[in-house]
């Protein structure tokens, strides 16, 4: 059985490990800050979806934005996964891994450019998720010019509320995403009039880090009703793209059983579309697959007191993992080799010149000293993907662990790398 959290202590007085490899050994070899991913855990999460939806025609399209590492994309491609992309750059990553994987790509996003559309048409992707009437017009123009068929789904906005952070909620009318579901039939009629446009699906995505399955069922039910109407209008709708957004628990104290959560999610969606025949579900998990498969290792530089406050200053900063600063997101933080002694309460911060450069505030943990290693858990999604060179800091190394083997999948950036695109 794969553990819910793949980073575990192998025994009493043993350091934290990923699989069978101690994290202190990886930090010694590759330096810090360092992202470490468990291949086994990622594939385990993928299997949960495959098994839960086994009786429903489906394609699991990994949300590339969560973690676009080529090694992770290759790992998923070898399992036959599809991919949900939001840019031409992400499509370039997919075809770098495997050109034929383009046939399993769904292209989402509100701001597709003509060059990105042309690339997707030439690659022969599975589906364009169209988010506006203006985008539909541009897609029809480019498809006609290139004489390439463009299968589409309109991303409809079902006006379903999902309790999540406002920055990652996308299912209400006031959000920039999608087309009002009440207007969808008219837009589909317009789409059917273009020679090179093929209305083939309907898409919905209501947000990210949603921990209740009920909103997914409600949104899918509204989309299923729309599919029925569109089929009566004479359109051959083959795909229902249910989007992604299934959340995880970042707090260790809160119980989380991924097997149960995926089964509940599958039951809610399948129940919602039960009246539809000959429909393929497209599912777009990202965070749920990769978040808990990853951790960020950082080394303590200083332990500092300012009055009553204690600060643990680490060598990783908000440029390496921005989620706590951007979303006030919680990540469990544990010592790789815990010391005995009285626990302390401290802010765990980085070296970036911002007060907002923190990973945790007033967090209780075992005593630490300069040189100790900390592991910031559940960092596999939107960690390295959101990393930057702020303060002219190089982005971290990435390592993928599979069994007894750890493989470097991204070397650490150098100053030369950062300066290479600039001129004086």
Catalytic residue list contains 54: no
369 vs 387: CA distance, rounded Å? 26
Of 396, 306, 345, give the one whose Cα is nearest residue 31.
396
Name the catalytic one among 18, 54, 61, 353.
Answer: 353
What are the catalytic residues? 353
């Amino acid at each position: 059985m794969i553990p819910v959290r793949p980073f575990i202590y192998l025994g009493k007085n043993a350091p934290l490990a990923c699989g069978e490899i101690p994290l202190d050994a990886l930090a010694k070899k590759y330096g810090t800050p360092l992202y470490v991913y468990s291949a086994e855990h990622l594939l385990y999460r993928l299997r949960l979806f495959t098994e839960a939806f086994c009786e429903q025609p489906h394609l699991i399209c990994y949300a590339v934005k969560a973690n676009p590492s080529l090694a992770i994309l290759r790992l998923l491609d070898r399992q036959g996964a599809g991919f949900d992309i939001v840019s031409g750059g992400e499509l370039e990553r997919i075809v770098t891994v495997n050109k034929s994987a383009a046939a399993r790509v769904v292209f989402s996003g509100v701001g597709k450019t003509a060059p990105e559309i042309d690339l997707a048409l030439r690659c022969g992707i599975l589906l364009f998720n169209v988010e506006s009437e203006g985008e539909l017009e541009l897609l029809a123009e480019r498809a006609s010019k290139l004489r390439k068929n463009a299968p589409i789904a309109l991303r409809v906005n079902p006006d379903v509320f999902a309790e999540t952070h406002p920055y990652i909620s996308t299912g209400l009318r006031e959000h920039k995403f999608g087309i009002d579901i009440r207007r969808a039939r008219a837009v589909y009629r317009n789409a059917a009039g273009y020679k090179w446009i093929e209305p083939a699906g309907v898409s919905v995505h209501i947000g990210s880090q949603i921990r209740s399955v009920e909103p997914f069922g409600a949104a899918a039910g509204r989309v299923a009703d729309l599919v029925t109407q569109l089929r009566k209008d004479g359109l051959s709708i083959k795909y229902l793209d249910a989007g992604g957004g299934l959340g995880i628990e970042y707090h260790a104290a809160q119980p989380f059983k991924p097997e149960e959560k995926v089964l509940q999610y599958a039951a809610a969606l399948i129940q919602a579309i039960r009246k539809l025949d000959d429909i393929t579900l497209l599912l777009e998990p990202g965070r749920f697959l990769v978040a808990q498969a990853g951790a960020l290792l950082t080394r303590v530089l200083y332990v500092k007191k300012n009055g009553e406050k204690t600060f643990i200053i680490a060598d990783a900063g908000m440029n390496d993992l921005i989620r706590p600063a951007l979303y006030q997101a919680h990540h469990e933080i544990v010592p790789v080799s815990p010391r005995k002694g009285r626990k302390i309460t401290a802010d765990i911060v980085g070296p970036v010149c911002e007060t907002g450069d923190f990973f945790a505030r007033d967090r209780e943990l075992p005593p630490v000293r300069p040189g100790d290693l900390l592991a910031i858990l559940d960092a596999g999604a939107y960690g390295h993907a959101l990393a930057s060179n702020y303060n002219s800091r190089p982005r971290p190394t990435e390592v993928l662990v599979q069994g007894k083997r750890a493989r470097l999948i991204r070397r650490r950036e150098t100053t030369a790398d950062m300066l290479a695109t600039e001129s004086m």
